[in-house]
């Protein structure tokens, strides 16, 4: 058993966005078949390597693990970038209270002020009583005061224009896993820790 082959490798898509984490074993198979290249920053800036280049690359000794074969040893990559379009399904973002708050940045869409989660309501722009649906383009977060003031009216009727036109957030191709810490410094460029630590449960 080679533990190094079980270590985690960050997978970037062709736009260099973090989309996945795989095992080094899987990463090697992607690199070997030409579907991915290694990304290495040990030289100061980011370089990419195909399998043969990587095999010959010594770079800086920086605590990489190695996999030894009969003929050579090869560093276990920490990041790979896909050469092909990944077929990861883009995740539609669920219409949950929390996701609405996140989209609207916890700002009341009528007065523009920021609030704690508990002081925010979900407001139907076109009220439900007037046929308004619970859809991304018809719900916004609103403070209790604005929500009450608006009542059963549309923004036009209430003369309370919206800060932003609500719409569905773009489906995320990005990685959506929670991790308490980023395992390698080299990942940090690609991983928005703040975002990853956002609680998405609703
Ligand atoms: Zn408000």
Report the percentage of the chain scoring pLDDT > 90: 46
Measured in Å, residue 169 CA sits from the centre of ligand 1 at: 21
pLDDT of residue 56: 84
- For the chain, where are the alpha helices, taking DSSP H only? 24-32, 51-56, 97-103, 144-150, 155-158, 193-196
> How far is it, in rounded angstroms, from Cα 104 to Cα 102?
5
- CB within 8 Å of 92: residues ≥ 6 apart: 168, 171
CA-CA distance, 138 to 128, in Å (whole number)? 10
Answer whether 108's CB lies under 8 Å from 120's CB.
yes
More confident: 110 or 66: 110
Residue 197: pLDDT band by 50, 70, 90 thresholds?
very low
Ligand 1: centre distance to CA 126 (Å):
16
Q: What is the pLDDT of residues 162-171, one digit of tens each?
A: 999 999 887 6
| pLDDT digit string, tens, across residues 70-118 | 677 788 999 999 997 766 556 677 888 888 998 899 999 999 999 998 9
Give the environment of ion ligand 1: residues with CB less than 5 A. 108, 110-111, 143, 146
Q: Count CB-CB contacts under 10 A for residue 78.
A: 25
Query: What's the CA gap between 81 and 11, in Å, rounded?
Result: 6
Angle at 37 between CA 60 and CA 30, to 5 degrees: 125
Pairing assessment for the beta strands 79-82 and 73-75 based on DSSP bridges = unpaired
Cα 171 to ligand 1 centroid, rounded to whole Å? 27
CA of 116 to the centre of ligand 1 (A): 12
Choose among 115, 102, 101: nearest CA to 143. 115
What integer pLDDT is reported at residue 198 of this predicted model?
A: 42
pTM: 0.53
pLDDT score of 196 more than 50: no
Residue 9: name the closest of 33, 37, 43 by CA.
37
166: CA distance to ligand 1 center in Å?
Answer: 15
Q: How far is the CA of 46 from the centre of ligand 1 (A)?
A: 45
**Residue at token pair 């276990």:** 76
């Amino acid at each position: 058993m080679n533990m190094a082959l079980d270590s985690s490798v960050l997978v970037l898509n062709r736009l260099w966005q973090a989309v996945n984490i795989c095992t080094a074993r899987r990463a090697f198979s992607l690199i070997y078949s030409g579907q991915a290249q290694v990304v290495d920053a040990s030289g100061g800036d980011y370089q990419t390597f195909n399998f043969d280049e990587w095999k010959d690359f010594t770079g800086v000794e920086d605590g990489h693990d190695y996999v030894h074969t009969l003929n050579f040893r090869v560093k276990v990559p920490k990041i790979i970038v896909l050469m092909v379009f990944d077929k990861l399904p883009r995740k539609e973002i669920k219409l949950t209270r929390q996701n609405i708050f996140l989209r609207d940045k916890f700002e009341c869409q009528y007065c523009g002020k920021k609030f704690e989660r508990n002081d925010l309501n979900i407001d139907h722009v076109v009220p439900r009583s007037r046929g308004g649906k619970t859809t991304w383009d018809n719900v916004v977060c609103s403070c209790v005061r604005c929500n009450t003031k608006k009542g059963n009216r549309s923004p036009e009727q209430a003369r309370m224009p919206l800060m932003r036109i609500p719409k569905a957030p773009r489906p995320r191709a990005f990685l959506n896993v929670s991790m308490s810490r980023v395992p390698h410094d080299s990942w940090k460029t690609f991983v928005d820790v703040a975002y990853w630590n956002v609680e998405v449960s609703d």
